[in-house]
Structure 1
Amino acid sequence: MDRRKPFLVGIQEFAALYGVVPGKVGQWVSRGTLDPATAIVVSGVRYWPLGFAARYGTTTRRFKQVDMGVKERLIAEQGEGWEADLGDELPPIVGQHEIIQIFHLPAQGNLATTIASGRFPDSDWVLSGSMLWLLDTVMEAAPALRESSRSLTWEADETVVAALRDGTYDGPGSKVLARGPYARKSS
């Protein structure tokens, strides 16, 4: 299978492209200068195609210059891939929330232990401190996970997989998680 993947950025990488603190990207979203619909949401966090993120500075009222050195570094760190511009160009991408739902794991700790043991496939990306996988990477690993597990079945819920593939998944991780001091006030 072709493992070329789209280049992505999380909030930290987006900020680095423009030489600002990550909180500034959140301000752009809250002020409406960065449309949240331009991002995909994986495990409750926004991620953008690198092509869009690098072009963003040209779409604002006040031009923002992208740091091409940062862009080149991000591409080099992510390995062989391609530069998508829109979220609908992206293949299905999952994080830990979605993986837990795919396999109906009883707890996040089950997945964390499997990852730490080296039995889970290496993540396709580590962005803003979070691991992300192509859905196909995870699904191809399922048979080996089943063989090596003593207590978990690692049987995929095909309904969840289908929803992830067709962009209709609305389970845990499909919405942006509230973070910071305001998150506590809204709960």
Structure 2
Amino acid sequence: MDDALAVVLTLVTRGNCLSDEDLEWIDRQLILPAVPPGWEGDISIGCNEAAWLVFPSGQFHRIGAVAGAALVRELGLEILALTVQPWYVHMVYRPANKEVSAVRATSELALQRLLGPDRPIWAEDYAKRYCFDPEEVESWIRYVEGHNLAANLVAKPWPFISTLTFSKEKGQSGSE
């Protein structure tokens, strides 16, 4: 989408799914539960329980640092917001003619170096939205940053996150 100002991407960890209810929560910009809906410690609830993955809570910051740095370095992605949660990641980034498959593969390879080389990271399920106006972009950035604040982190916990500014002319944007 050449005229999009930003892309909002939600990736879920292996073994998890985005249900219609999850997608509705995201559309309404509500913070998803800390554990996958219906999981409650029961590994059999997952879409692929043999490969279930829930990120350890003590590693959220490290996971975000490793994945984000790889996306910036290897794909030239300009990340505007990022949050790592136990079973999903939300990201807002500037369109860079990169397919979701490239974003998934690059972040998965980086995280496999951290979490184990044979460890599948992402499920096939994901949600992607394009943002076409500044207010929409800012709203999604606040939504993603709200996850970090709710987890007692700062809104932009990694140095690679850009700050997007919009000029008075609609659609003109720049990054700091």
Instruction: Point out the structure with the larger strand share.
Output: 2
Instruction: Point out the structure with the larger helix share.
Output: 1
> Radius of gyration: which is bigger?
1
Higher RCO structure (Cα 8 Å, ≥6 apart)? 2
What TM-score do you get using the length of structure 1 for normalisation? 0.28
What TM-score do you get using the length of structure 2 for normalisation? 0.29
